[in-house]
Amino acid sequence: MIDKVFNKTISKQFEFDEEVASVFDDMLERSVPFYKQMQKLSISFANNFLKDNSYVYDLGCSTASTLIELSKNSSFKLNLVGIDNSNAMLDHASKKANAFGVNIKLLNDDIFNVELKNASVVFSNYTLQFIRPINREKLVKKIYDSLEVGGVFIFSEKLVSQDSFLNKQFIDEYYSFKKAQGYSEFEIAQKREALENVLIPYTEEENKKMIKDAGFKHCETLFRWVNFATFIAIK
Ligand SMILES: C[S@@+](CC[C@H](N)C(=O)[O-])C[C@H]1O[C@@H](n2cnc3c(N)ncnc32)[C@H](O)[C@@H]1O
Ligand SMILES: O=C(O)C(=O)C[C@]1(C(=O)O)C=C[C@@H](O)C=C1
């Protein structure tokens, strides 16, 4: 379904409710530059750290796209666990996983409440940015603790620049991308307002510092387009 959520006047903050969930796959593909390519890269790198019976977690799995794609593009028999605290998202995830015949354990809970164990790979794409900064470090430490030595945390984030002049150009470039994807200036402005104080992006350096502070041995940027990036951190 085509995303028209912000085509009307909106006065509430952005939420992952049924209205968003029902158009979410289209929203992501048209709102995150190179979304599919970043997902493919995440999966390709993840496969390097997997074997039969490995545990893979996706924190903020939404409609389970990443785990379904991994399952279709891995030669291993995996234990796939998707975690999200939006009922609406998980309804869609469950229907999609069934339709593709992929077995995923879907947990409807806050990421902070779920015990993560023996992980070979933890994904969290465009989700840390929705976690209050005061809790974000704590979550990354939890992810670190859940990983086996040699395991990886693969995550994607919207970014800001430390330089305010460049940051303004990042935003302009991003809005041009959205316009080219068919979003109107009105939709772009409405969504920007709804995301204010809900989506809190870090710089690339802040993300890497957070990863290092949690104890990870190494972190690389796998892909970056202006204000969106995918990282891989190894324990
Ligand atoms: C931008 S979406 C993630 C997109 C998804 N990873 C993908 O690549 O298709 C963020 C998701 O995180 C979930 N989320 C946000 N905070 C959460 C929390 N504290 N616990 C569990 N899920 C959370 C939201 O419900 C939403 O589905
Ligand atoms: O549309 C925007 O402004 C975005 O930042 C895109 C973004 C994201 O990066 O998470 C914002 C909300 C939705 O979860 C989907 C995509």
Q: How far apart are CA 125 and CA 40, in angstroms?
A: 12
- Ligand 2, pocket-test mutation among 35, 195, 227, most atoms within 8 A of CB: 195
- Binding residues for S-adenosyl-L-methionine are 35, 60-62, 84-85, 110-111, 125, 192
Ligand 1 pocket check for 28: Cβ under 6 Å: yes
Question: How many domains are contained in the chain?
Answer: 1
Contacts of 226 (CB under 8 A, 6+ apart): 33, 170, 173, 174
**Token pair for 191:** 């969504």
- Tens digits of residue pLDDT in 139-195: 999 999 999 999 999 999 999 999 999 999 999 999 999 999 999 999 999 999 999
Supply 79's token pair: 């234990």
Q: Closest Cα partner for 111 from 134, 140, 133, 91?
A: 140
Q: Are 60 and 125 in contact (CB under 8 A)?
A: yes
Cα distance between the two ends of the chain = 39
What does the block give as tokens for 147? 């990983």
Q: What CATH number corresponds to the domain at position 161? A: 3.40.50.150
pLDDT, mean of residues 202-210: 98
Q: Give the up-direction half-sphere exposure of residue 123: CA atoms within 13 A in the CB hemisphere.
A: 33
Say what the pTM is: 0.97
Pick from 15, 31, 177, 181 the residue to mutate for probing ligand 2's pocket: most ligand atoms within 8 Å of its CB.
31
Strand partners, 35: none
Alpha-carbon span 142 to 145, nearest angstrom? 5
Q: What is the pLDDT of residue 110?
A: 98
Percentage of residues of the chain with pLDDT beyond 70: 100
Q: Which structural domain, as residue segments, surrounds residue 42?
A: 5-234
- pLDDT of residue 10 exceeding 90, the answer is no
